[in-house]
Chain A
Amino acid sequence: MSSELKIVNGRLYDPANNVDGEVHDLCIKAGKIVGSVSASATRIDAHGMVVMPGAVDIHCHIAGPKVNLARKLLPEDHRLDVHPKTAVTRSGTGGIVPSTFATGYRYATMGYTTAMEAAVPPITARHALEELDDTPVIDKGFYVLLGNNAFLYKLLKEGRKTEFKEAIAWWVNAVHAYTVKLVNTGSDELWKGRKNANITDVNETIDHYDITPNHVIESFVEAAHELGLPHPPHIHCNNLGHSGNVATTLDTMKAAQGRRVHIAHVQFHSFGGQLNENPVSGVREIIDYINAHQNITTDVGQVMFGKATAMTADAPLAWMLRNVRFDKWVNADTECESGCGIIPFSYQQRVYTHTLQWAMGLELFLLSEDPWRVLLSTDHPNGGSFMNYPKLIRLLMDSAYRREALQQVNQKALDKTQLRDLQREYTLNEIAIITRAGPARALGLANKGHLGIGADADITIYTEAEDKEQMFNAPRYVIKDGVMVIEDHEFATDHKGKLLHSKPGYNQDIAAQIEPFFEDYYSVKFNNYAISDDYLHHHEEIPTHPKV
């Protein structure tokens, strides 16, 4: 096959370039979208088909230590969903936490060409990088967990703001991360040090450090802004899953003080009601704030009925769920850096809270006034597998289908939402925004999520169908880096995607200040901690835009 491709007669959805369903030809050369190609280019006749940029998952859990613990934990789930090899692809196992190969291939079979692993502790980032290297087809990167970092807390306690910023940059560079991640800020110290306690308020003082989660969040947002990270701090707010956590989520968004911030899986953080009572939907307050504040991006973290796995750096949350289910439970403390909890889970239509969460996610989508900032995710596998995306898209695009679905769920929970009154249907253009253009823009990926000249030739071609679940479930063609990976619904070749990472600039002197802390409190040598470039494999550095 020639390295040139020409897609003709397809209907293009390219919201970043204001193309909404127009028929255009698309030329591809050397992995990029170009203005023209030679006459010998391979032609794809996309008549009757929808052409979109490859989709981008801004928040999922697909690689690294906690994901692998969950894989090991679930043999009973893998055996129900085998992933046979083909002439060109590796075998694996599926289920709610698929093997690395199955993960890459399955994302590709839904038209996804980029996915970001949302939480990796720095000390185990090598593991995540190795797994991502074994995750085929898609481009990928990860967010490094720094929001409970003992050394950074020490700097904040001592009021050393400059060093704090330098140290963040050092860490992002040292582990080849994309951006920083904060999870249940401040909770680790209480969880590990005060017999499984948790932070309940962002203005509470964190044990031993004389600082509040609010101060930590503010400081990260400011530092990331100055470093010009391509994607701002990616925040898992405090009090996830607790009734009345709306107040905490609003406090967190306000802490950004107008600077860019990404609020992860916001559905889980939109509970109204009183603590320790049944939650109600608090979506209205949250979405009104997001609609009115351009600095905020969010992914919904939609809950889908069926299997899920709670997999989180928020250890107290997993413990709370463990005490509901008393099923197998994993907790994993990472020295000076993070906690982790894992619980197999399933969301059921008859259960009040599960239906409430499902409905709250849909409310968020349907009340969003700016699809560029309210993005599609299930927080895979926390709200359900990424394999649910086509069904979720149908729920958004097809109000009749949604009305049917509403009949099958817990009606008392539905009473506590506005979902029955929402008639909105997403258009294909809006779907292209919440799954492609929006996440790419939020991530600062200038060459992804659109089909303009110079963009990465990551392209999905769907046969247009009335049933949008069917349509988005099985693209006819998937092109990655200009290579036809899926042709007529079948894998034509294997392909290796890139690692996406950023390298914020910093003053190298900071390393000498971090080192003594390692000697005292870490179990690995400082000199062995930073990860060599050998682990980057096929990679792309995404530029930063420092402000100072």
Chain B
Amino acid sequence: MPAATQTKSQENKNIKIVKDATCTFCGCVCDDMELTVDLDEHRITKAKRACVLGRAWFYEHTLEDRPVVLIDGKPASLEEGIETAAQILVNAKFPITYGLSDSPCEAQRVAVNIMDTVNGNIDTTTSVCHGPSGMAFQGVGESTATLGEIRNRADLVIYWGGNPAESHPRHFTKYAVTPKGMYIPNGKKDRTVVLVDVRKTPSTPVADIFVRIKPGKDFEVLWALRALVKGKRINANIEAETGVSRELLDDLVERMKNAQYGVLFLGMGLTMTRGRHFNSGAIYSLAADLNEYTHFVAKPVRGHGNVTGADNVVSWQTGYPFGVNFNRGFPRFNPGEFTTSDVLARGEADAAMIIASDPAANFSRKAIEHLKKIPVITLDAKETHTTKISKVRFAVATYGINTGGTVYRMDDVPISLRPAFDSPFPSDQEVLEGIRVRVTALLTGHNPRIAA
């Protein structure tokens, strides 16, 4: 079936309809968009089925009039930008690359290649998102499922430390709560929804049961649930400690053990707070334990469009999911040592390539101060705090709107993008490939051995 058709509108404008396009704003990676594109204005005028975040994503990514490359704030050619970036990376003692979660896998693969070539450090926004869940995974594993399986089977859905109504608006409606599934013929009526959080949020109304816990007490509640599932005794003061009553815990345990197919979704309310990877490990372990009684899965609700792809690419190329260092000519992994926030806060990196992310706004003050002292290369479709401080700034096309490629949904399902309209800006893959070729040539004195 043709995915795109072009017509003339009543105002005689060139209009293109793109069916089954994919939104890459959040980790839901919804692939059922119908985009109306005004080819004369170079903008998307309608995004059918998009949520509020998706509409903002599609409508606001227009072609801005700005130079493709700025070096020290002055316009330059793409070639000059690539050359300057390559020189910076080759001459640095400890170059780092960070970001990647809003780039397709094809670009991510090249970025890892560059860091392998210059013995640098590669890290993704995973390290400040579900990095702790990645570490927990390494410790205890995970029972998990694709979102369609959850749609088809889950009769007990528990969200822990997340607010999908605002962060992933279609998570409820497309995947996990309201849709009908193979063995869930009546949709939400056939499911029990539990929400665990420290505060009420716009997500709370969807829940049949709302569990309010004291901030920073997630681990204690999860561990108590594990104990109760196994029939062990727990602290009699559990309510005073965590804000959750024994009766509510017992009720949850019964519901979990008796579910036909249960799921625990974990949000950053677990990974960014006291306990971090121990919290994620506790929830994974709880889900695993419950498999002695029924079928149970757990799944982190991932943020950026392709942060899951970044985990996958870095893992298959290096063996580790994030925070990888090539200083010795082979990959090493150590969160806290090779994660970008730490590398910057300790003042170690002497050059940084930041791809589609904004550490100058999101990192700690100490990390940002160091970032301001070293040469920074940025690739971004928009101006950010980080592009403002960069030595070399590439304005790139927006993935999923102007360029194609592969994106992994939060459940590791890979999806190909359908671009809506062309951009005069290069894709990040093109820029990175240019840098890779130059870096390799500078280091070896001849052209790279494998043709791209």
Given A72-B137, A521-B182, are A192 and B261 neighbors across the interface (CB < 8 Å)?
yes
B140 to chain A, nearest CB (A): 5
B187 to chain A, nearest CB (A): 12
Is B317's CB under 8 angstroms from A79's CB?
A: no
Contact pick for A532, options B113, B140, B261, B416, CB 8 Å: B416
A119-127, A298-306, A349-357, A392-400: which lies at the interface: A119-127
Given A101-B317, A331-B297, A332-B145, are A90 and B416 neighbors across the interface (CB < 8 Å)?
no
Interface residues of B in 96-130 (CB under 8 A from A): 105, 109, 113, 116
A91–B297 alpha-carbon span in the complex (Å): 34
> Is B320 an interface residue when CB atoms closer than 8 A count as contact?
yes
Majority SS of interface residues in chain A? Answer: mixed
A329–B291 alpha-carbon span in the complex (Å): 11
> Is B183 an interface residue when CB atoms closer than 8 A count as contact?
yes
Is B291's CB under 8 angstroms from A331's CB?
A: yes
> Is B139 an interface residue when CB atoms closer than 8 A count as contact?
yes
B243 to chain A, nearest CB (A): 31
Give the residues in chain A near B297, CB-CB below 8 Å: 331, 333
Give the residues in chain A near B412, CB-CB below 8 Å: 65, 124, 127, 332
> Is B288 an interface residue when CB atoms closer than 8 A count as contact?
yes
Given A75-B333, A88-B449, are A523 and B147 neighbors across the interface (CB < 8 Å)?
yes
A467 to chain B, nearest CB (A): 29
Give the residues in chain B near A331, CB-CB below 8 Å: 142-144, 291, 297
Given A91-B116, A150-B182, are A73 and B148 neighbors across the interface (CB < 8 Å)?
no
Is B149's CB under 8 angstroms from A93's CB?
A: no
Is A332's CB under 8 angstroms from B413's CB?
A: no
Contact pick for B414, options A67, A124, A193, A333, CB 8 Å: A124
> Is B275 an interface residue when CB atoms closer than 8 A count as contact?
no
A99–B315 alpha-carbon span in the complex (Å): 7
A240 to chain B, nearest CB (A): 19
Closest to B109 in A: A134
A468 to chain B, nearest CB (A): 30
> Is A528 an interface residue when CB atoms closer than 8 A count as contact?
yes
Contact pick for A195, options B183, B294, B449, CB 8 Å: B294
A538 to chain B, nearest CB (A): 11
A321–B416 alpha-carbon span in the complex (Å): 36
Is B143's CB under 8 angstroms from A191's CB?
A: no
> Is A336 an interface residue when CB atoms closer than 8 A count as contact?
yes
B283 to chain A, nearest CB (A): 14
Give the residues in chain B near A98, CB-CB below 8 Å: 319
> Is A369 an interface residue when CB atoms closer than 8 A count as contact?
no
Contact pick for A329, options B148, B288, B330, CB 8 Å: B288
> Is A84 an interface residue when CB atoms closer than 8 A count as contact?
yes
Contact pick for B148, options A88, A335, A496, CB 8 Å: A335
Interface residues of A in 510-548 (CB under 8 A from B): 520-525, 527-528, 531-532
Interface residues of A in 319-366 (CB under 8 A from B): 319, 328-336, 342
Is A79's CB under 8 angstroms from B329's CB?
A: no
Summed over the interface, the residue pairs from A and B with CB atoms below 8 Å come to a total of 196
Given A75-B333, A124-B414, are A336 and B326 neighbors across the interface (CB < 8 Å)?
no
B396 to chain A, nearest CB (A): 20
> Is A423 an interface residue when CB atoms closer than 8 A count as contact?
no
Interface residues of A in 96-151 (CB under 8 A from B): 97-102, 123-124, 126-127, 130-131, 134, 150
* A contact residues, range: 35 or more
Give the residues in chain A near B139, CB-CB below 8 Å: 328
A18 to chain B, nearest CB (A): 38
Is B138's CB under 8 angstroms from A79's CB?
A: no
Given A72-B138, A332-B145, are A93 and B330 neighbors across the interface (CB < 8 Å)?
yes
Given A193-B153, A333-B146, are A130 and B330 neighbors across the interface (CB < 8 Å)?
no
A74–B326 alpha-carbon span in the complex (Å): 18
A521 to chain B, nearest CB (A): 5
Is A195's CB under 8 angstroms from B293's CB?
A: yes
Is B414's CB under 8 angstroms from A528's CB?
A: no
Is B319's CB under 8 angstroms from A75's CB?
A: yes
B284 to chain A, nearest CB (A): 9
Is A523's CB under 8 angstroms from B319's CB?
A: no
Give the residues in chain A near B291, CB-CB below 8 Å: 196, 319, 331
Encoded as 1 (CB less than 8 Å from any A CB) or 0, chain B from 311 to 328 comes to 111011111110000101
Give the residues in chain A near B288, CB-CB below 8 Å: 329
Closest to B321 in A: A72
> Is B3 an interface residue when CB atoms closer than 8 A count as contact?
yes
A422–B283 alpha-carbon span in the complex (Å): 52
Give the residues in chain B near A334, CB-CB below 8 Å: 145-146, 149
**Quick one: which of B19, B146, B260, B294 has the most chain A CB within 10 A?**
B146
> Is B190 an interface residue when CB atoms closer than 8 A count as contact?
no
Is A84's CB under 8 angstroms from B149's CB?
A: no
> Is B83 an interface residue when CB atoms closer than 8 A count as contact?
no
Is A531's CB under 8 angstroms from B416's CB?
A: yes
B259 to chain A, nearest CB (A): 9
Is A100's CB under 8 angstroms from B152's CB?
A: no
> Is A71 an interface residue when CB atoms closer than 8 A count as contact?
yes
Majority SS of interface residues in chain B? Answer: mixed
A525–B32 alpha-carbon span in the complex (Å): 6
A79–B293 alpha-carbon span in the complex (Å): 36
A67–B174 alpha-carbon span in the complex (Å): 28
> Is A21 an interface residue when CB atoms closer than 8 A count as contact?
no
> Is B220 an interface residue when CB atoms closer than 8 A count as contact?
no
A282 to chain B, nearest CB (A): 30
Give the residues in chain B near A82, CB-CB below 8 Å: 328, 330-332
> Is B415 an interface residue when CB atoms closer than 8 A count as contact?
yes
Is B295's CB under 8 angstroms from A196's CB?
A: yes
> Is A39 an interface residue when CB atoms closer than 8 A count as contact?
no
Is A68's CB under 8 angstroms from B316's CB?
A: yes
A522–B415 alpha-carbon span in the complex (Å): 13
Contact pick for B312, options A79, A92, A127, A494, CB 8 Å: A127
> Is A78 an interface residue when CB atoms closer than 8 A count as contact?
yes
> Is B219 an interface residue when CB atoms closer than 8 A count as contact?
no
Is A79's CB under 8 angstroms from B333's CB?
A: yes
Contact pick for A528, options B20, B138, B182, B311, CB 8 Å: B20
> Is B267 an interface residue when CB atoms closer than 8 A count as contact?
no
Is A335's CB under 8 angstroms from B319's CB?
A: no
Is A523's CB under 8 angstroms from B413's CB?
A: yes
A364–B313 alpha-carbon span in the complex (Å): 39
> Is B181 an interface residue when CB atoms closer than 8 A count as contact?
yes
Given A333-B146, A333-B297, are A130 and B105 neighbors across the interface (CB < 8 Å)?
yes
Is B31's CB under 8 angstroms from A524's CB?
A: yes
Give the residues in chain B near A195, CB-CB below 8 Å: 260, 293-295
A146–B85 alpha-carbon span in the complex (Å): 47
> Is B444 an interface residue when CB atoms closer than 8 A count as contact?
yes
Encoded as 1 (CB less than 8 Å from any A CB) or 0, chain B from 404 to 421 comes to 001010001111101000
Closest to A344 in B: B141
> Is B22 an interface residue when CB atoms closer than 8 A count as contact?
yes
Is B146's CB under 8 angstroms from A493's CB?
A: no
> Is A87 an interface residue when CB atoms closer than 8 A count as contact?
yes
Give the residues in chain B near A100, CB-CB below 8 Å: 316-317
A493–B448 alpha-carbon span in the complex (Å): 11
Contact pick for A494, options B141, B321, B326, B450, CB 8 Å: B450
> Is B175 an interface residue when CB atoms closer than 8 A count as contact?
yes
B51 to chain A, nearest CB (A): 16
15 A-B residue pairs with Cβ-Cβ distance under 8 Å, sorted by A, are A68-B315, A71-B316, A83-B330, A87-B444, A92-B318, A193-B153, A196-B291, A329-B288, A330-B141, A331-B291, A332-B145, A333-B144, A521-B182, A527-B19, A528-B20
What is the interface of chain A, defined by CB distance below 8 A to chain B? 63, 65, 67-68, 71-76, 78-79, 82-85, 87-88, 90-93, 95, 97-102, 123-124, 126-127, 130-131, 134, 150, 191-193, 195-196, 319, 328-336, 342, 493-494, 496, 520-525, 527-528, 531-532
Q: When A and B form their complex, which 4 residue pairs have the shortest distance between CB atoms, in order from nearest?
A: A335-B148, A523-B148, A93-B319, A328-B141
Starting from the known contacts A75-B319, A99-B319, A531-B416, 18 additional A-B residue pairs (CB-CB under 8 Å) come to A71-B315, A78-B331, A87-B444, A90-B116, A91-B329, A127-B408, A130-B105, A130-B109, A191-B295, A192-B295, A193-B153, A328-B140, A331-B291, A334-B149, A335-B145, A335-B148, A493-B449, A523-B151
